[in-house]
Amino acid sequence: MSRNPKKPADSVSEAEETQPKIMTKPLPMILDELENYIHRVEEAVKLAQSAAKDSRAAADQAKESGERAADAARKAAEAAVAKIKEEATRREDVLDDKISEVTENLDALVDKVKQEVVALDEAFLALKNKHVEQSPFFKNK
């Protein structure tokens, strides 16, 4: 299609197409649209600020919850360590008691063995003396 500058209808429609809105809409309508846009932006800013405030509050709550959880875990660990120490001490006491008991039994056994050895020595000496007294080989000496 070739454009003909003599056709006024085509040139008018082209001018309308390329004109900015300010040239086609009345100024009060443009100002109303601009004011509505500003209000929407202000609302969006308020919503963003509210969301930021809410996220800060949620972050603070999460931090507190984390600190409480860490404190609870620390207390639980301390309690577990204390319980293990207590159990170890109790078992150590039981072992000490058993060692003392074994030591006492061993000392009693040593005393009994010594008594038996002394009794055997006395019996051997008595037997020797009796043998020397009754032996015909020792009478001459």
Domain segments of the chain: what residues? 21-134
19 pLDDT tier (thresholds 50, 70, 90): low
Separation between Cα atoms, residue 38 and residue 44, nearest integer Å: 10
Helix (H) or strand (E) holding 54: helix 27-134
Cβ(22)–Cβ(30) under 8 Å? yes
81-86: average pLDDT: 96
pLDDT digits (tens, 9 = 90+) for 55-81: 999 999 999 999 999 999 999 999 999
Whether pLDDT at 110 is above 50: yes
**What is the separation of C-alpha 12 from the centre of its chain, rounded to a whole number of angstroms?**
78
For the stretch 122-137, pLDDT in tens is 999 999 888 888 888 8
For the cut 70, the answer to whether the pLDDT of residue 8 exceeds it is no
Rounded to an integer, the average pLDDT of 113-119 is 95
Global pTM exceeds 0.75: no
Is the CB of residue 10 less than 8 Å from the CB of residue 3? yes
For residue 93, is pLDDT > 50? yes
Contact 103, 95 (CB under 8 A): no
pLDDT band, residue 1 (cuts 50/70/90): very low
